[in-house]
């Protein structure tokens, strides 16, 4: 007669270990999720800052050009540059209407005052382009943690009239 061995039983400690793993997961999962969400949000902010810088660079390039034939009679060079910056950002997928663009003087006694790109006296003077977008406009998640914060970028250039020749 063959002897039949009893079926193997689970060790008693396996059930208690399963419970410990669940408790550990309950503590670690929120921290891990917070790190992932933070990484995504910082990526969004970095991408928005890069797009703002690119838009300002293109606006600054336009500001340094000869505008003959580029702007309409009822538009100032400042308005044209601001409109083009906002259009660039809209084309990149950002709400261009929410972007604030300023053109100010970057040298002399009038630092921070509005800089008139169309004024011939401002030729070869430094000006500052600055663009600001509210963080809520670029956030992927509907939270108020960064409410009231802005993503901003600026660029300082010299006013000039470069002609493009064929």
As for how many domains the chain has, the answer is: 1
**pTM for the complete prediction?**
0.75
- Identify whether 133 is part of a domain: yes
- Identify whether 4 is part of a domain: no
Containing domain of residue 104, as a range?
Answer: 14-158
Q: Tell me: the pLDDT tens digits for 97-116?
A: 999 999 999 887 788 789 98
Q: Tell me: the pLDDT tens digits for 31-88?
A: 999 899 888 888 888 999 999 999 999 998 888 777 777 788 888 888 999 999 999 9
3-state secondary structure the chain: CCCCCCCCCCCHHHHHHHHHHHHHHHHHHHHHHHHHHHHHHHHHHHHHHHHHHHHHHHHHHHHCECCCCCCCCCCCHHHHHHHHHHHHHHHCCCCHHHCEEEEEECCHHHCCCECCCCCHHHCCCEEEEEEEEEHHHCCCCCCCCCCCCEEEEEEEEECCCECCCC
- Identify whether 120 is part of a domain: yes
């Amino acid at each position: 007669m063959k002897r039949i061995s009893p079926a193997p039983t689970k060790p008693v400690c396996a059930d208690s270990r399963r419970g410990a793993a669940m408790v550990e997961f309950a503590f670690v999962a929120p921290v891990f999720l917070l790190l992932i969400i933070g990484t995504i949000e910082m990526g969004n902010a970095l991408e928005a800052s890069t797009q703002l810088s690119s838009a300002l660079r293109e606006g600054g390039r336009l500001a340094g050009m000869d505008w003959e034939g580029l702007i309409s009679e009822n538009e100032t060079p400042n308005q044209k540059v601001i409109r083009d910056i906002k259009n660039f950002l809209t084309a990149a997928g950002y709400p261009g209407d929410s972007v604030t663009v300023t053109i100010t003087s970057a040298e002399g006694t009038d630092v921070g005052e509005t800089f008139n790109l169309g004024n011939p006296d401002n030729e070869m003077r430094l000006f500052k382009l600055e663009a600001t977008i509210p963080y809520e406009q670029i956030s992927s998640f509907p939270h108020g943690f960064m409410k009231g914060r802005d993503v901003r970028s600026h660029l300082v250039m010299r006013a000039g009239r470069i002609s493009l020749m064929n």
